[in-house]
Structure 1
Amino acid sequence: MSSNEARGTDYIAQAEAKLKSASGFFGRMFGGTSKQEEAMELYGRAANAFKMAKKWSAAGQAFSEAANIAERLQMKHDSAQSSVDAANCYKKSESDKAITCLLHAIEIFTDMGRFSMAAKHHMAVAEIYETEHVDIDQCIANYEQAADYYRGEESNSAANKCLLKVAFLSAQQEKYERAIEIYEQVGASCLESQLLKYSAKDHFFRAALLHICVDAGVDGPRALDKYTEMFPAFQDSREFKLLRKILDAIEEQSVDAFTDAVKEYDSISRLDQWYTGILLKIKKAMTAEEGEELR
């Protein structure tokens, strides 16, 4: 056992002794609250000692004990902060416990009317569901709740950031209509700002590709007309030109023309995994239609 771990264990023993004395008759009569506060402080010291020893589970447990005491003493902010500290430790060892601690902190922050803080921690929960405790539906639900809280606090930029994650993940799950709705909504909001106006083309580009996935013959062309009407400069972009070439290739049933158009664009602006995944789905739909015609 390292010296830091030994110190942490000693602090835990002292904290438990304080709590025991506070729970007795004389403890309740004389200084029960102060003894609990001392125990809370000792649990915090124990947690930090365990952190230095890289004993993450023990540190998380100690912070959780501190949070429980703070909650009993109606010290809401301290309880929430200790829960967040516990979650940060549990992230390194037990993601399910990290989620539980963050949800506890969120409950306190919403009760206090601290919605921006609650939103921040909903994002943290979403990130755990996305990367560690994989559950994309829960991930989306937490990003949506974070966006709702940010929007309520007039933090529109932060809300849009969360919504774009919802759209990104929804498209991967082939929930195209939800993703399109968000990309169009965020794109329209960007047009209201001179600073963000140019970034609207990226959101319209993604939305248009998804429209093509849904219905290349009708939805795709309509989307391009709609976005150029909303943002005339979109028509001069490389993204628009690629979309036009994709629609022409689909109409001509030319997989080669589709492939050449994508390669040409990718040689200048690298397409990330999300784009390549959507483009592959469009290409597969083309080859499937081609096979049907041959039969």
Structure 2
Amino acid sequence: MPDEIHPYYSVIRNLQIPSNPNYDKRPFLLMSDLPVTNGDNGFTDTTDLERRSQKKDIMIVLGTSGSGKTRTLIELLCKKYGFYFTSLVKENLGSCDLLMMIDHLFPKLKSSLVQNDAYAIRFSKCLLFARIYILHYILETYGEISPYNWAILQLCPTVFFNSDIFEEITLEFRKVPEQYFDENFRKLIREILFLVNQKRLPVILDEAQELIDRFYNKFSSTTKEDETRSLYSVVIRTFTFSGTCVIPSGTGLTIKSVLRLTGSHVLKGSTWKNEELIIIKNGFDSVEKKIMQDQM
């Protein structure tokens, strides 16, 4: 908020724009006027994104800085039940669970790609399972939580609890045997989909370019023995289940990085279609123009 002597102090105060949970004197336009119910349109027409999220294993969201990628994806989660992860949380929304995983990985990585894969895959499973478990528990125990309220809980966990509940429960699941995940992942996803009447749960990975830059060449490729992969590839691979639609997004993502690092079991070069790519327009008018830009 501006100082009280500011000529428009009263006008700005009456706008009722949400404040940043971490900096309560800063307005947070990203949270303003989000669609509370599925009937609300919000600022962005997410109809096509909603439709695709219920049909695809993966969609890639690209766009220039400030084009509205994060806002669009948050509006999607206000209408469809899903999960929001982000690699940058210092002044942004979201849980610190993914960043916590990155911090834990750093001292654990070895020269053995196989060992690195196993450690990162297990931690990634804990991340996703914590979200799945909490949503399933809420729906089973309390009967209902709207997509909007579930999205807000993920975006601002410390506002509702004294600590980051997703971070804490992720750490608890690190103590659980691998067999437990294998037995319950698909079971809980199926039950959630039935309870919320959806075909898929969008799993958003915002600021995904950070995972491409982290621990590059520390993980193995599942398709080419002579190549290595980044943490991004491991997370995408682990988050891809029957009943999920993984949605990486980020300003630094390019077509080349998407095709090379996402994984052929998800995106096959021979069957790649532009409909798996969403461009949030701000300087690019089409998928074709974005591809040309990446090749320059």
With the shorter chain as reference, the TM-score category is under 0.3
Q: TM-score, structure 1 length as denominator?
A: 0.26
Larger radius of gyration: 1
Q: TM-score, structure 2 length as denominator?
A: 0.26
Higher relative contact order (CA 8 A, sep 6+): 2
- Greater strand percent: which structure? 2
